[in-house]
Amino acid sequence: MNDLILDGGPCQVGIESTIINCTQDLPEILRPGAITANMISDLIGLQLNQIATGSNKSSIKAPGLLQSHYAPKAKVFLSTTPNLGDGFIALSEIPTPPGAIRLASPKDHNEYAQVLYQALRLSDTKQLSNVIVIPPTGDDMAIAICDRLEKCAYKG
């Protein structure tokens, strides 16, 4: 029997879903996604605990909660200046520095989430050593994007 690959095309969101721990008095976001803390609070009428980050004290096992995850072979650096031949990912309004290889130019946070993993895989295809990423700012999808970027960032 031959292996088959089902290609449904580009994902609508791109990054993984929000994971919530509801086993405590107040729900806690374990992994941010397209469904934001404000959306959840508005829906359930409760304020959420802070997003679990870093050492994640929760004993709940959930996908994508490792401290290093989502990483390409290239070293990913956040908010530094690229050198000649480095990959570069940033919102389209941020110009590509001279000598950098643009991997993605998303127009907004939603598009950033959609193209992030594709851009990181492209760095592997191009066999780049370094990828410089300018993370988005804000409190919407930017929180989830920054979560994924921090997990793939070089920690050496």
CA distance 45 to 47: 7
Is residue 106 in some structural domain?
yes
Q: Tell me whether residue 53 is in a domain.
A: no
Q: Note whether residue 143 is domain-resident.
A: yes
Its pTM stands at 0.79
Residues 24-39: pLDDT tens digits? Answer: 888 888 888 888 888 8
Give the pLDDT mean for 36-44.
88
Residue-range definition of the domain harbouring residue 99: 75-152
CB distance 32 to 147 below 8 Å: yes
Q: What is the dihedral of CA 7, 107, 81, 125, to 10 degrees?
A: 20
**Residue 71 exposed, middle or buried by CB count within 10 Å (0-12, 13-18, 19+):** middle
Query: Cα 136 from chain centroid?
Result: 10
User: Is 50 within the bounds of a domain?
Assistant: no
CATH number of the domain at 118, please. 3.40.50.11030
In this predicted model, what pLDDT tens digit does every residue of 99-145 receive, in sequence order? 999 999 999 999 999 999 999 999 999 999 999 999 999 988 999 99
Q: What would the pLDDT profile of 46-79 be if each residue is shown by its tens digit?
A: 888 766 554 445 555 566 665 556 678 999 999 8
